[in-house]
Amino acid sequence: MFALTAGAFGIGVTEFVIMGLLMEVGTDLGVSLSSAGLLISGYALGVMAGAPVLTVLTGRWSRKHVLLGLMVIFTVGNVACALAPTYGTLMAARVLTSLSHGTFFGVGSVVATGLVPADRRASAIAIMFTGLTVATILGVPLGTWLGQWLGWRATFWAVALIGLGAVVVLAVFVPRDTEERKSSDWRADMRALGRRPVLLGLVTTALGYAGVFAVFTFIAPILTRLSGFSQAAVSPILLVFGGGMLVGNLVGGKLADRQLLPAILGSLAVLSLVLFGMTFVLHSQVLAVIAVGLFGAAAFATVPPLQMWVLEKAQGAGQSLASSLNIGAFNLGNALGAWFGGLIIDRGPGLGAVTWVAALVPLSAILVVLLSQRLDASDSATCLPVSKELECPSLEEV
């Protein structure tokens, strides 16, 4: 479990650390700040594209070998980032690195759930995702500091070393597959992925995280312009957000182990409530800091339940592919949320309304979950046994 967490930590640092180094990268490579910002978008698009492709291509491999191969890609990609002579090569290296992201978390989720009893599967996913939260709390600030002190390339060299260490611990500690995977069929995986419950699960994930990133993308101007904090105070406040993420992630996993559906509905409802409540406390600096911590907790409390939801809906066949695509759905939510938040600011009621408008997005995710449950119940009701001795066939048999 902690070997998977180590890999998640390295990937988390790579994804987010560039946000703190955009000015250094732009100055060194001679590009504008907005162009440097596209390195974030390029990474997100690489995650969405790489998750299904690599999962299908490695479908016949043992999951341990998949994880090791992905960490090798991750390490090589970070070395390429550190050596990139131009903006174009840096973008290509970032995309190369991102290809490992979705499949690592997707396959890693399947591996994690197979290492623990059935009643602890969501907690196992939460432990792996703890690497991502620790990367946000510690890895990103340290990586930013290192890049500002020794140059942005030093940060990518350091992350490449983390990747190399992750390869070692994965090779030593992750057990070999207990099941034969030579019979894996990508067509069967795609058919499983095309099932309505899986697709609705992916939509739920994208909508849930769109609400998160509609606010988080603009958290710096929200804190400085609405709450009156200095620019220097933003980073320490984001540590509070990261601490909330860590707590929310573990709590979300525990709740999902007890009752998955209530955990999904409850975490999305709490997220919506926190976003709405932030609207009324942002003008108080003390309450704003508390709200940011609660926002982090509510945001990541949704992650283990949503990941577990898609895994269960995939029902064996196509679990790795569905799980990987769900990571892509998180990133799609990030992109949609950033666009939606910008739309509210530029063409809507403005920065002060971002939080309460964003609160409506998780509510739409709740509606999708309820619709999915209603449709599943309707499908189950279509079969009525003609006698007590006969049972309804499964949906797959139908």
- DSSP string for 109-135: HHHHHHSS-GGGHHHHHHHHHHHHHHI
CB 160 within 8 A of CB 146: no
Q: Is the CB of residue 300 less than 8 Å from the CB of residue 250?
A: no
pLDDT number for residue 247: 92
For residues 320 and 107, the answer to whether their CB atoms sit within 8 Å is yes
The neighbour count for residue 52, using CB atoms within 10 Å, is 21
Can you give the residue ranges of every domain in the chain? 1-173, 185-376
pLDDT (tens place) for every residue of the chain, 398 residues total? 888 888 888 888 887 787 677 778 888 999 886 677 778 778 878 887 887 788 778 777 888 888 899 999 999 999 999 999 999 999 999 999 988 888 888 888 888 888 888 888 888 888 888 887 788 777 777 887 888 788 899 999 999 998 899 899 888 888 876 554 544 555 666 666 667 888 888 899 999 888 998 888 788 788 888 999 887 787 788 888 888 988 999 999 999 999 999 999 999 999 999 999 999 999 999 999 999 999 999 999 999 999 888 888 776 556 777 777 888 888 788 778 878 888 888 887 888 999 999 999 999 999 999 998 888 777 666 554 544 444 444 444 44
Closest by CA position to 73, among listed 183, 154, 164: 164
User: What CATH class is the domain 185-376?
Assistant: mainly alpha
Superfamily the domain 1-173 falls into: MFS general substrate transporter like domains (1.20.1250.20)
Please give the pLDDT value at position 188: 62
Say what the pLDDT of residue 387 is. Answer: 44
Asked if the domains at 1-173 and 185-376 fall in one CATH topology, the answer is: yes
Whether the pTM exceeds 0.85: the reply is no
Q: Among residues 325, 97, 348, which one has the least CA distance to residue 218?
A: 348
| 164 closest CA partner among 46, 10, 50 | 10
What is the structure's pLDDT at 316? 58
Return d(Cα 194, Cα 213) in angstroms, integer.
Answer: 27
Residue type present at position 297: A
pLDDT at residue 331, rounded to an integer = 79
Instruction: Check residue 178 and give its pLDDT.
Output: 57
**∠ Cα 187 200 383 (to 5°):** 80
